[in-house]
Amino acid sequence: MTFPPPSPRSTKPSGVSIPYQPGLDGLRAVAVLVVMAYHGGVTGLRGGFLGVDIFFVLSGYLITTLLLVEYSRTQTIALIAFWARRARRLLPALGVVLIGILIYATLVAKPDRLDSIRDDALSSLTYVANWRFVFSNQSYFAQFSVPSPLRHMWSLAIEEQFYFIWPLVILLLLKLRVRLAPMTMIFGAAAVASTVLMAVLFSSGSDPSRVYYGTDTRAQALLIGATLATGLLYLRQRSEKQAPSAPWVRLGLLGAVVVTLMLVFVRDTASWMYYGGYLLAALATAAVIAAAIQPRRNAIKSSLSPVWLRQIGKISYGLYLWHWPVFLTLTSERIGESGVVLLVIRFAVTFTIATTSFYVVELPIRQQHWRKGPRKAVLVTAMAAGVLAGLFIFLPIVRPTSTPNKAVAIELTGTSPPPARILVVGDSVAQTVGQGFERGANDLGVDLFNRGQLACGLAEGGQLSRGGRWVDVEPTCTNWKNDWASYVKKLKPKVSLVLFDVFVISDLRLNDRDLAFGEPASDKYLTEQLSKGVDILRSDGGSVVLLTAPYNNRPERLGQPIEWTEDDPARVDHWNKLLRDYAKGLNDPQVTVVDINEYLSPKGKYTNSVSGTELRYDGVHFNPDAGEMLFGWLIPKLPASA
């Protein structure tokens, strides 16, 4: 197996290299910029998440080419040297970022998130973050809460897993004397297999994070890059003459059009992407790469080779590492800016940090200026010790402990005897506020049973519209009437509190019929479902208190530029009117409505603090202290114990 040698200037003592291709640095820049724009909420780049796939194809192509060229020269692959080079390139910048995350976690993150951030950091350091997010149910498409400052590490984990395994695969195939042509077919078939696995595992309407994060399902882009590498080397080996550039350029132009259209128009909620869409993006990217590396100048190569674009490409790793935690830290709420101004500030800070990291930390270590003497051991040991010490020791120590809320105890003093047994039902808002209710109930000696269910509304099937995407009603939610009947039979509550929010004010698709929230058909369905639930709850003689839905204000959702109609206060008002109209029409003293927004939102709009206590940790769900305070306010308004 022989390949044309690279130009002498590209050969470096640190290991085998290939001729520098400026267009590939430019493509790196495009990839990181579209990811940053997507995470910054730029609506004109709905498919900016595909920048990660561009990185994957590039990595697959470059690493495979490097390994094959090394084997052609030395008849082996120096595995330890290869892994050491990857470590020098990747670990220093990662270590600095993790130290930065420790500072972020200490100063900014909520105390109850420190354990999760620590575990995310450990998984990032060991390059298994993608599987950590799968098994800890940290959805890439989360609707609530501020995401982990390390959520973007999933893609770096996949690449590093590839860097570890791929040299072994290449070396094995070469030792078995597998030639380039069959190797190309093997890699292509593996890419197709990964695509098929993604399609098989994907379930329309459910959260796609397993297939989105999975190494096995996302390997298709890396394998397409590898297929391109072996295919081009095979064609070069087969012909003594340089293959004409024109066909590759035409193919590259077509690929550029496809990639551009996907970056602009494809939403992250598009189900068809899991049925070959990601493969299409990878193939289009491979075509662009093939055109960009042609020896003669062409439209693709020229457009990707400006000096400013190449410079961005050189620091693209640092930009990717830093942009996500920077964006999470520099929120509109913290700095008082929004829109284009906020985006410019975020970009400026990210570029400043990434550039500094590149020239102060990454480049000196990559070029091994620090190698002589004991500095190598000192630097590596200090960085590793600093990160690990912070992860294992510092984070747990700084976690403050919660203290009893004195305002609650004062407000409860002098109230009439509360109901002896209280049942709480509803969705995840009821579940979280119920946790605070349990605290207050324990102080009063009241039996309170929190039975709120995550992601459950009043629908018994069908799909809900969530951020422009139809998702299946959770199977655990479809049997809610039987669940409520079971609670009443076993717990015998004197008062049942009913609280629903976002999962009743969403549009519903039921039996292929769309019920738009606020329309008469939707009102009729929800009122009927509510009536059935109330009948169940009062079947044993207990009272039912319908709590109004609170206004919500989910924090900025990075990378989700879609307008969430479910956040519209008008929807909350409409649902609360349905509650009042239903109770008024029923005219039963056993069924009443309590407007909790009198306490939570006295000005008729979302408020996130009362008496200095933060109410919601994500703009929707309640902190335990807030739930306890609300319980103290609510108790006098409940029917007395029978």
DSSP state at residue 616: B
The mean pLDDT value of the chain amounts to 84
> What is residue 415's predicted lDDT score, i.e. its pLDDT?
46
Confidence of residue 402 (pLDDT cuts 50, 70, 90): very low
The alpha-helical segments, DSSP class H, found in 126-268 are 129-135, 153-175, 180-201, 209-213, 215-238, 246-265
* The pLDDT of residue 407 is above 50: no
* The pLDDT of residue 399 is above 50: no
Confidence of residue 417 (pLDDT cuts 50, 70, 90): low
Q: How far apart are CA 232 and CA 226, in angstroms?
A: 10
DSSP state at residue 401: P
In the chain, % of residues over pLDDT 90: 51
Question: pTM above 0.75?
Answer: no
DSSP-derived 3-state class of residue 469:
strand
Residue where the block lists tokens 């999962």: 503
> What is residue 301's predicted lDDT score, i.e. its pLDDT?
94
Return the bridge partners of 472, or none.
463
Query: Where is average pLDDT lowest: 77-86, 465-474, 546-555?
Result: 465-474
Residues 6+ apart with CB under 8 A from 121: 98, 101, 102, 150, 387, 391
Q: Which run of H or of E encompasses 499?
A: strand 495-499
> What is residue 172's predicted lDDT score, i.e. its pLDDT?
96
Higher pLDDT, 393 or 315: 315
Q: Are 552 and 502 a contacting pair, CB within 8 Å? A: yes
> What is residue 580's predicted lDDT score, i.e. its pLDDT?
95
* The pLDDT of residue 373 is above 50: no
> What is residue 142's predicted lDDT score, i.e. its pLDDT?
55
Pairing of strands 463-466, 613-614: unpaired
Q: Are 105 and 395 a contacting pair, CB within 8 Å? A: yes
> What is residue 446's predicted lDDT score, i.e. its pLDDT?
85
Q: What is the mean pLDDT of residues 97-106?
A: 85
DSSP string, 198-210: HHHH--TTS--HH
23: tokens are 């267009």
- Count Cβ atoms within 10 A of the Cβ of residue 75 and give its class: 0-12 exposed, 13-18 middle, 19 or more buried: exposed
Pairing of strands 609-610, 613-614: antiparallel
> What is residue 241's predicted lDDT score, i.e. its pLDDT?
61
In the chain, % of residues over pLDDT 70: 83
pLDDT tens-digit readout, 343-365: 999 999 999 999 999 999 888 88
Q: What CA–CA distances, in Å, run from 194 to 55, 172, 223, 276, 280?
A: 17, 21, 9, 10, 13
> What is residue 400's predicted lDDT score, i.e. its pLDDT?
43
Q: How far apart are CA 466 and CA 471, in angstroms?
A: 7
> What is residue 41's predicted lDDT score, i.e. its pLDDT?
83
* The pLDDT of residue 527 is above 50: yes
User: Which of 98-107, 243-252, 512-521, 622-631 is modeled with the greatest confidence?
Assistant: 512-521
pLDDT tens-digit readout, 576-608: 999 999 999 998 999 999 999 998 888 888 887
Domains of the chain with bracketed CATH: 8-398 (no CATH), 406-637 (3.40.50.1110)
Q: What is the mean pLDDT of residues 119-130?
A: 92
* The pLDDT of residue 530 is above 90: yes
Q: Are 201 and 275 a contacting pair, CB within 8 Å? A: no
Q: Which run of H or of E encompasses 592?
A: strand 591-594
CA 2 to chain centre: 44
pLDDT tens-digit readout, 182-218: 999 999 999 999 999 999 999 765 668 899 999 999 9
Higher pLDDT, 62 or 476: 62
DSSP state at residue 532: H
